[in-house]
Amino acid sequence: MKTAEIKRRWLDYFESKGHTVVPSAPLISQDPTLMFVVAGMVPFIPYMTGVLPAPYSRATSVQKCVRTLDIDEVGKTTRHGTFFQMNGNFSFGDYFKKEAIGFAWELLTNPVEQGGLGFDPKRLWATVYQDDDEAIGYWLEQTSIPAERIQRRGMRDNYWSTGQRGPAGPCSEIYFDRGPEYGAEGGPEADEDRYIEIWNLVFMQYERADGGTKDHFEILGELPKKNIDTGMGLERVAFLLQGVENIYEIDQVRPLIDAAAKLSGKRYGAVEADDVRMRVIADHIRSALMLMSDGVTPSNEGRGYILRRLLRRSVRSLRLLGVQRPCFEELFTISKNAMVEAYPELEESFERVLRNALAEEAGFTRTLDTGLQVLSEAISQSAKELSGEVAFQLHDTFGFPIDLTVEIAEENGLGVDRAKFDLLMQEQKQRAKSDAKAKKVGGAGLQVYSEFRALGETRFLGYQSLETSGSVLGLLHEGESVSALSQGQLGEVFLDQTTLYAESGGQSADAGWIRGDGFELEVLDVQKPVKGLFAHRVRVTRGQVVVGAAAQTQVDADWRLGAAQAHSATHVVHAALRQVLGPEALQSGSFNKPGYMRLDFSWTAALSEETKSEIEEVSNLAIRADLAVSAQFMSLPEAKKWGAVALFGETYDEEVRVVQVGGPWSRELCGGTHVSRSSQIGLVSVTSESSVGSGSRRIEALVGLDALHSLSAERDLVRRLSVNLKAPVAEVEARIMSSLEELRSAQRRIAELESAQALALAPALVTTATKIAGLNVVSQELTNPISTDQLRALTLEVARQLPDCVVILGASLEKPVVMVSSSQKAQQQGIRAGELAKVASAVLGGGGGGKADFAQGGGVDSAKMSAALHAAVSAIG
């Protein structure tokens, strides 16, 4: 049965059961917390949570989805794919467990000639959440499945949520037994390769909180309505019905595997490593086709980066199969032809999709070719093993895949230091979390920068001078190479030499100008998108700049002085830290710009005020000592022998620059700009010290005039406080503490009076009690000013004064709040406070609950308080 036919049967079946057929939403999620639609129910979340009224009580869809968290598992298992289709049927307060189970069993087991999918009922298993006896009852009532083929499982396996705040609930999954040749007996608990999950019935009735883990998270309360959300993996069902071994061999994907086999001259099924690569190509090309059809384009950020990764992994896998020539046109066309029956709209967008895919393929091919040249040279210079640093440079600078590096090295009788490569990759990922570089350089593809880098390394002359003359080698506008930039445009300029410092080593980029005959450019930022290449982000303030023009760079002298002060201050504070705390207080990161510095360092505990003061004092004594600041280049072994500190997370060339302050007192490997004497720093004023993670602290300080201005402002503040408090400066702190204590005392007296005033309402409320089911029931909305604590105390006080009662009090505070107290007699009659609180909260658009004797609830709609109290009272009897 073709995949498109399974999709058609699904929609036809549920349409016949009164469901509205809803077309698939685009892959780009409208939820700002998601890049892509990752599950079939995502478009329906607003209806499930009650944020929007559902336009239908029942719906069905076949939703396009993309998940890339398990991208490294693609091709290796039977069930991991980046793009997949999720068949779903949904109920918004209409039907629940009984009907959902009945629908699923009927569609799965009905004969093909009757519109069903024809699964043998003897090969189907079910799992339920461990406490869901109700679901087990319906399985036994609605289907022919025996009890021994129903397994209970915990929250990790049978409780569904999105992983963040939103709808959640227990679920029941349906598995198909592939037979003893695929694994051990014993159902899904024994072997999920033999027993394949094909359908998940989620009984969506709760809202979960953010945080927690997959098998432990907070439940905020019940949803306004009990909903059904089911998902049947279309690809999984297709590979079972088509009699193939995995999702990559179904009719919508297998043609791509066959094409990869033909292109490479290798037989699918002969070598497992080659099979994995063919499956990766098939999966990623199809995913890229669907993403690009929905408007995603390759880029270095967000969704575009995910797409770019898919495309590049495809090229990589083709290379590993021995395919050297471009073949995206053939592969994308094959994928489109395989998918177009299910998605006719692919024809309309295909020309655009193919154009973008071919451009990406060409760009990455150039990157690979450049990387091969570098790799060939490195191999010729290696004896037994290619260094991890070289492998990382190939990956980081040229986008060269590590597994291709490994394969080529092995062909030449070499190993690769993977441990070092993996360490460098991990360090890069950590830096990337706080590094906004990708957002600053205009979003051009790596291959564009690599082409400019191939023209030569940018010579940095900024250590010796603030000005130099050079030549414009290239220009970028909106990520595209152009021949000219005109007045008012933003773009990037590449020069053969520059005096403008590019952001690196924790130091922000220089400000300044680039000028030439007939043009002036304001420099907004300078970055190194690839090693050795300076990209000047500019705004054209006058004239037009063209490729090949002579240009003069000029650094803003005040900016450079401020940056140099801040960077030298960072070295001074680092040395002070190590002097005060010990050599283990090693810098792990930094950032500095004119007037400001921050330094992250290894330390496990917060610094005391005395320690912070001591560090600040040591730093400023070093500044006052007018220590010499110098820099010199030497080999890395020489620098280490000299005692220079190499910073965690940084990689270094064989020749390094060592900056020292006061000789051996501070020696660090550093490429930044610095003052020539420590006294030029001026002043360091520590402003904060905080934690930035386990075993890491951060110290921040103002530098130079910014530090002076800050201290002057604090001095003026103290003077004003002295005047207003009519106290000498030395007594200001004591006077403020005394005033604060008086204020706290007054606030306590006010709270006591308000509580007494609230409790004084109790006798009047007692008189409003009415008899319902033999109980004294008090239900009242309070309009007087009252706090949550006072409302709770008042509810309990009324209950204390009134025997055999149920007390329900509500008030609109920041949000509507309801308190319920239920006496022992009421509880014996089955009237529990927690249940009444849930009833009232549901009307208010929220959730609630608690113990049998006392509970609290609330919501968002204060206008419905009267209706909420009425609903709770109605639930009593």
Tell me the binding residues for Zn(2+). 567, 571, 670, 674
Six-digit token pair at 248? 């990559």
The C-alpha angle with vertex 722 and arms to 721 and 725, in degrees rounded to 5, equals 80
Scanning the structure block, which residue is given the tokens 């606030």?
747
Taking the chain, what is the end-to-end CA distance rounded to the nearest angstrom?
56
d(CA 198, CA 10): 13
Six-digit token pair at 867? 């209706």
The phi and psi torsions of 347 (rounded to 5 degrees) equal -60, -40
d(CA 669, CA 25): 53
Contact (CB, 8 A) for 475 and 494 = yes
- Indicate the DSSP class of residue 608: P
3-state DSSP assignment of residue 669:
strand
d(CA 470, CA 498): 7
d(CA 86, CA 231): 6
In this structure, how many other beta carbons lie within 10 angstroms of the beta carbon of residue 830?
A: 10
Q: Is residue 468 exposed (0-12), middle (13-18) or buried (19+ Cβ within 10 Å)?
A: buried
- Tell which residue, 338, 357, 365, has the closest CA to residue 288: 357
- Numbers of helices and strands, H then E, in the chain: 26, 34
Contact (CB, 8 A) for 499 and 468 = yes
- Indicate the DSSP class of residue 248: G
Alpha carbon distances (Å) from 272 to 242, 263, 269, 456, 781: 22, 17, 7, 42, 71
- Tell which residue, 365, 429, 430, has the closest CA to residue 399: 365
Annotated binding site: 567, 571, 670, 674
**DSSP secondary structure letters along 694-743:** TTEEEEEEEETHHHHHHHHHHHHHHHHHHHHHTS-GGGHHHHHHHHHHHH
Q: How far is CA 215 from the centre of its chain?
A: 20
d(CA 522, CA 512): 6
Contact (CB, 8 A) for 725 and 735 = yes
Contact (CB, 8 A) for 344 and 336 = no
Q: Report CA dihedral (563, 568, 574, 575) to the nearest 10 degrees.
A: -170
